[in-house]
Every structure is written in structure tokens, then in C-alpha cells.
Structure 1
Amino acid sequence: MDKKNHNNTYRMKINNPLTSITNLYNKSSNWGKILFLVLLLLLVVAIFKPMQLQRKEGFEQQETFLLKTNDDLYDKFYSEIYDELVFNNLKDDYEVGEIINKTDVTSQSVILDIGSGTGHHVAKLKEQGFNAVGVDKSKSMIEKSKENFPEYKFLNGDVEKSSLFQPNSFTHILCLYFTIYYMKDKNAFFQNCMNWLMPGGYLVLHLVERDNFDPILPPGNPFILVSPQRYAKERITQTKLIFNDMEYTSNFSLDNNKNIATFEEKFKNTDTGKVRKNEHTLYMDTDNDILTMAQNNGFIVQGKIDLISVAYEYQYLYILIKPN
């Protein structure tokens, strides 16, 4: 099978079941939709209940209360539980499949994944035979990536520093899952990407409609393919969970006037009562303003991939190109 047919098959495997389920749900009566959601919830409970026995013990710390902010919060503790909070295999498969199909990924491509986290996107690309490397600002996340995928390459570095890579090093740069919003100086980021990309290279950028996207974390939504935001009178911004002997809560808040959002997480050890708080500061300009910054730095906006197919509504992967 040639590469093109292989990529199309990969994409179809993900899209077809999702499309069929979504169409069936949309065509159902109100009672049918309620029954569908109940059955889906029972299925989720049946899947995840056996996993309770495999859970790790809660966190340990000396302090009664510990506050961690942006760069400091991605430590060993957070890197160990990160996937339990945000990892979504279906989403990652869909993103990789769409990127391969829409950005001319070949065996000659050299792909950089910025903010590579625990390494899953790099691994999925490598498993299909493509040349990919991950970079992350957090040493603990890089260590976790290497633990997860020791055969692949992951680097620790700050992408806001122009000296991190040589000019014309990559055919593709990926910046996924809110990574762009941790960067205060986005112009420096776009300048660096323009410099590091080969002529005609692609920058794939994850952006959201900041006033509309769903900030509930995946394990906090039992319905998987249906966002509870559609049926809520007001936007739901909190996630509440109990896992690993911890009570977990998170909340997203946005200041439109300052273009700054705060994502706060609280972990409470149910045995000791000790609390850890993570405070993420997100520099959350509108998606249009961020795209304008990219264009002002020379990028051409070629298109976008809507993530609604995997229930990430109002979230997109924008495809930007460095001119030849």
C-alpha cells in the first residue's frame, strides 16, 4: 500500500465511526438522545471501574499548602499524572491523521513537536515511519517522555530562544494543546518558527475560541462525544474528580480586557488533608489576533482543521506556511 492510501485508510478508521455515531445521535428524538447518553455513561463506568485497582497513591509533600505556577508546576508530580488529566488517544490519533493528510508529510519530512509533553504525538508519528522530535521547556516532562518512549528523541529547551535550533532545520513544526498560550511573546515565537522552518514548511498551531471552548478536562466529562456545554445555561468552567487518593478540582477564568486566562488546579490528599495548587497563566489573545501576529511575521494561513469530530468544539488546528 502506498503512503497516500495508507494515510487515507488511517483517517477513515477514525472518522467513519465518529460520523456514524454523531449522525445517529443528531437524528434521534429527545428521549432517544437521553437513552443514548445514559447508555454511554454506563459504558464509561464499565470501562473505567476496573482501572480503579491500578491507580497510584496520592501525592506526598511536606508543606500543608504548596503553590506552583507556570514553569514550576510541570514538575515530577505533575508529569506523572498529566496523562490521567488530559490525554485523549482518539483526539491524538485524529490530529496526527489530519496533519499527515493535509501538510504533505513524507519520509523526507523533519517534524518538530513544540511543547511535546509526555511524548504521544511524537510517538504516533514515529510509529508511522516519520522523522519527528519533541521539545519541551519542562525537564520533568522530557524525562517522562523518555520513560514512555525511550527509543524516540526528546529535547529540553525554551522555544522563545532563537538559538535553540539552526535555521532551515524542519519541514514541519507542531504547536499543539494550548502550548501557544503559555508564551507571552508570541511574536518571538513566530519569528523563531519562521527561521527554523525550511522554505515551504508548515506550522500547525492549536487555537481555540476563548469564549466558547469547553474547559472541562476529559475525565470530568462522562459523555465523551457530547459536550455538556450545549445543554448548560451558563458555561461550565470547573472540573471535579477523585483519583489517586486525591480530590481534584480545576477552574478556568478569562479576563477579556487583559487577554489573560487563569487555569487553577487544586489537589487535596484525602489521607493527609495537604493541598497543592497549580496556577497556570495563559496569555490568551483572540484566535484572530494570534493569526494576525503570524501573518505579520510572514506566515500564510492555508487552512484549519476543526476538532469538533473528536468532541473538542471551538478548537482548531490552523495550517500556516512559510513562503518559498
Structure 2
Amino acid sequence: MSNFGKTLLFITVLLIIIVFFKSINSKSLTKEGYEQNNKFLFKTGDDIYDDFYVNIYDYLVYNNLKDDYETMSIINKTTPTSESVILDIGSGTGHHVAKLSEKDLNVIGIDISPSMVKKAKENFPQYRFSIGDALNKQEFPFNTFTHILCLYFTIYYLKDKRVFFDNCMDWLMPGGYLTVHLVDRKKFDPILPPGNPLYIVSPQKYAKERITKTKINFNKFVYNSNFSLDEDNNIAKFEEKFKFDDGKVRKQEQILYMETVDDILNIAQECGFILHGKVDLVKCAYEHQYLYIFLKPS
């Protein structure tokens, strides 16, 4: 086959894959149901995570390939056993807890959102989830866990990261592992998975300027989001808008406390952690995103 023929075949296969995933995504996005009483609704902070948002959350952000890759990387790097006790902070709709529990590991997930915990229990009633606050030192006794996870941007919702690392140090047994998801705040792709027209390739590689906006057509509303970063103040905003077919609008603003990776690593080490390892998530198509693994000294 000529080089032109090979190129044409590759483009054809790529287009088929894109159309296939787009059709799956379009079908899945017709499942939502929501009635908003007010013509305009604005939410911020923890109030965002109500039943409506939680019920569409997986459609917006869930990626099974990424979760599988993260789970196997954590297992390979930290070698948990049946004797391990694992805490997932910010467990959301429960997927990481489920994937680890399926490996016969002892896992509990906590989330500050009651709606998230309810949804996780609906998704995985056989596993353990509870409402909890990672900044509350009294949440767990000393030396409770062998492993603590803080994945998918959870750490950026925590303003006082020193308190977070101090608490994890207290809750971990000596020799325990803390795994934290961190990103290069200036380079990671803020487009949500269903809003990426290429699906398996980041459009950031081909854009002259960073793309920060996502648009998704749901069955009864149009979703738009935008990510903005204030580097000087280490603050990012993730603004979302839902415009319903009946003219009603819901807006919400998430504040992320986004220090640089180096600054966060320094805080962790000042709290006594040893940097044990790093996993680059580029292999699951999440470029400029990482899992940093810390060790509590024995």
C-alpha cells in the first residue's frame, strides 16, 4: 500500500472512531431529568454539588480508561494487600473506590457533598461511602490508613493544603502512602471529555492559544463551561452555564486554589512527607496531569 493509501486509511479509521464515540456520547446525554423552579439560579462552593449536578457529573467528567490507568498505577507503585486500609478523599460518584474494591482491597470513600455520597451508594451499594471533610482533623483517628488517595482535582478545592497534608500525615500509618493528583496549571487541557471534538487527541496541540471553553448539547439544555487562571493569586475559576429549552438558566462558579506543582510539593515535604514516585497521565491522554505519590516515614 502506498503512503497516500496508508494515510487515507488512518484518517478513515480515526473518523469512524470519532463518529462512534460521538454517537455513544449523544445517546448517553439524553438521560438527564431536571426541573428548575427559578428562572435564574446561581450556585457556588459546595452548594454546586446538588442532586442535579451530581446526576450529570459522570457524563461531564468520567473517563473509564483514565480511572483504570490510575487504579493500576496506584496498585503497582504502592502494592496494597488484603491487609491494607485505603481512604479515597473526594470519592465523588464512587468509581475509584469500586475499582480498588474489586481487587479485594479494603477501601472507604469520603466526600463533603451529601448528594455525591448518595449517588456513590446508588452506583455501588456494596461498597463504603460516607460524608467527610479532609480538613477536619477529627474525621479519623491517628494511624488509621495504609493508603490515602486524593484524585481528580480534589486537592485544588482545599484552600489550606497544609492542613490537608498534616491531617493525612496523622491518619496514615508509618510507611503509608498518599497519592495526589496534580496538574501543570498553565498547560493541562480544561476541555471536558464529551466536549472534545477529537476524543482521543487533545485539540490543544493544534490550537494557537489554549482552549478553555467546553460546549455540550444535552437533551433539554445546552452546557457551557470556561476555565480561567489568575496566576498571581493562585486562583482559578471554573464557570458553568446550563441554558434550558424553557429559557431558564443555571450558572455556577467553582473556585480552585491552584498553587504551582512545586509549591504543593514543598508544602507536602514541609509536613514530613517523602516524595516516593510520579505517574504521568499522558499515557491515558491526560497530558500535563500527574499522580504524585508521597510516603510517610516509618
TM-score, scaled relative to structure 2:
0.95
> In structure 1, how many angstroms separate the alpha carbons of the residues matched to 2:262 and 2:60?
28
> Does 1:67 find its partner at 2:49?
no
CA displacement, residues 250-305 of structure 1 (integer Å, 9 cap, x when unaligned): 000000000000000111112x1111112000000001000100000000011100
What does residue range 146-157 of structure 1 map to in structure 2 within 5 Å? Answer: 146-157=121-132
Closer, same or farther in 2 for the Cα pair 1:235/1:37, shift >3 Å?
farther
> Does 1:295 find its partner at 2:269?
yes
**Which aligned runs of 4 or more in structure 1 are off by greater than 4 angstroms?**
29-35, 50-54
**Unpaired runs of at least 5, structure 2:** none
> In structure 1, how many angstroms separate the alpha carbons of the residues matched to 2:93 and 2:134?
17
What does residue range 66-85 of structure 1 map to in structure 2 within 5 Å? Answer: 66-85=41-60
Question: 1:179 is matched by which residue type in structure 2?
Answer: T
Residue of structure 1 in register with 2:241 after alignment: 266
For the 8 Å contact 1:118–1:141, the answer to whether it is kept is yes
Question: 1:304 is matched by which residue type in structure 2?
Answer: K
> In structure 1, how many angstroms separate the alpha carbons of the residues matched to 2:295 and 2:92?
24
Question: 2:161 is matched by which residue type in structure 1?
Answer: K
> In structure 2, how many angstroms separate the alpha carbons of the residues matched to 1:33 and 1:117?
42
CA shift, 1:149, in A, is 0.2
Residue of structure 2 in register with 1:231 after alignment: 206
Question: 1:93 is matched by which residue type in structure 2?
Answer: D
SS in 1 for 2:293: strand
**Unpaired runs of at least 5, structure 1:** 1-28
Residue of structure 2 in register with 1:222 after alignment: 197
> In structure 2, how many angstroms separate the alpha carbons of the residues matched to 1:250 and 1:141?
21
CA shift, 1:246, in A, is 1.2
> In structure 2, how many angstroms separate the alpha carbons of the residues matched to 1:56 and 1:188?
39
Match of 2:16 among 39, 42, 57: 42
For the 8 Å contact 1:174–1:204, the answer to whether it is kept is yes
Residue of structure 2 in register with 1:203 after alignment: 178
For the 8 Å contact 2:32–2:55, the answer to whether it is kept is no
> In structure 1, how many angstroms separate the alpha carbons of the residues matched to 2:9 and 2:236?
36
Question: 1:116 is matched by which residue type in structure 2?
Answer: S
SS in 1 for 2:31: coil
CA displacement, residues 185-234 of structure 1 (integer Å, 9 cap, x when unaligned): 11000000000000000000000000000000011113232111011000
SS in 1 for 2:74: helix
Closer, same or farther in 2 for the Cα pair 1:299/1:31, shift >3 Å?
farther
Question: 1:195 is matched by which residue type in structure 2?
Answer: D
For the 8 Å contact 2:280–2:290, the answer to whether it is kept is yes
Match of 1:112 among 69, 73, 87: 87
SS in 2 for 1:257: helix
> In structure 1, how many angstroms separate the alpha carbons of the residues matched to 2:135 and 2:205?
37
> Does 1:321 find its partner at 2:295?
yes
For the 8 Å contact 1:246–1:268, the answer to whether it is kept is yes
> In structure 1, how many angstroms separate the alpha carbons of the residues matched to 2:256 and 2:5?
40
For the 8 Å contact 2:54–2:116, the answer to whether it is kept is yes
CA shift, 1:101, in A, is 0.5
SS in 1 for 2:233: coil
CA shift, 1:46, in A, is 2.5
Question: 1:250 is matched by which residue type in structure 2?
Answer: S
Residue of structure 1 in register with 2:252 after alignment: 278
**Structural RMSD (CA):** 1.8
Q: How many residues align?
A: 295
CA shift, 1:47, in A, is 4.1
CA shift, 1:112, in A, is 0.3
